[in-house]
Amino acid sequence: MLNIANLSFNEPGGRSIRGLRIAAGTGAITALIGASGSGKSRLLRAVVGITRPVHGSIQVDGIEIAHLTLRQVVRRGLAFVPQGGMVVDPLTVDENLELSARAGRGRIDSRRDEVFALFPALTALLDRRAGTLTARQRLMLAIGRAVMTRPSTIAIDQPSFGLPTHALDEVQRAIAGLRALEYTVLLAEQNVSLALDLADHAYVLRGGALVASGTAEQLRDSDAVAEAFLG
């Protein structure tokens, strides 16, 4: 369970977000949607400890993490998959997974079965160096690395970024699989169709402000969503 209350923070260039309230439930996918520059990725960076908030609360399973570093946040059970994935290029796929397990809360082999169930294709790539992977394979590995830290909550930023259309179905199945495994998933995504197909609940951001929220079905034909993208 992830709870964000009255969150405010500033970033260089005068961009700011003020007073956001967001709740993401266990075993559910909560989406942040909005046009480029709306604040989705900025919010995720604050949640995972990259940007420090000036005010507000961020709790993971009742534990306050608002002023922790990214490393400390991972230890509290929140994993982050940034836009484009985050892998260590010189290391093999297997070494990347092992590294993440050591950085997190579980034994090295504790989550491998989950990773390979989500991404069977990774089993054939274990000896491949991460720097040689395609964008789709890098994203699979990045999500796999997040799972290996043994989190309760996974924040994923723009998973469709840079992917060909034919790869989106596999990504969608994998993220839906995280819900089936009872993770709390907070998803920032500009592809509204993909986000609402996945999400149980969604929040619409525009100019750093929350302008609407509701179930995916409630928002699918919402004027607020159209205005957030078209102005």
* Closest-CA residue to 145 (of 115, 171, 125): 115
* Helices 135-148, 168-180: crossing angle, 10 deg rounding: 10
Question: Distance (Å, rounded) from C-alpha 32 to C-alpha 157?
Answer: 9
- pLDDT tens, position by position, 91-139: 999 999 999 998 766 556 668 889 999 999 999 999 999 999 999 999 9
Residue 53, pLDDT score: 85
* pLDDT at residue 7 tops 60: yes
pTM, 2 dp: 0.92
**Percent of the chain clearing pLDDT 70 (strictly above):** 94
Given pLDDT bands bounded at 50, 70 and 90, which one contains residue 141? very high
pLDDT tens digits, 46-101: 999 998 888 899 999 999 999 899 989 999 999 999 998 899 999 999 999 999 99
Alpha carbon of 164 to those of 10, 14, 32, 130, 159: distances in Å? 34, 34, 22, 19, 11
Residue 15's pLDDT is 63
CATH of the domain spanning 2-86+151-230: 3.40.50.300
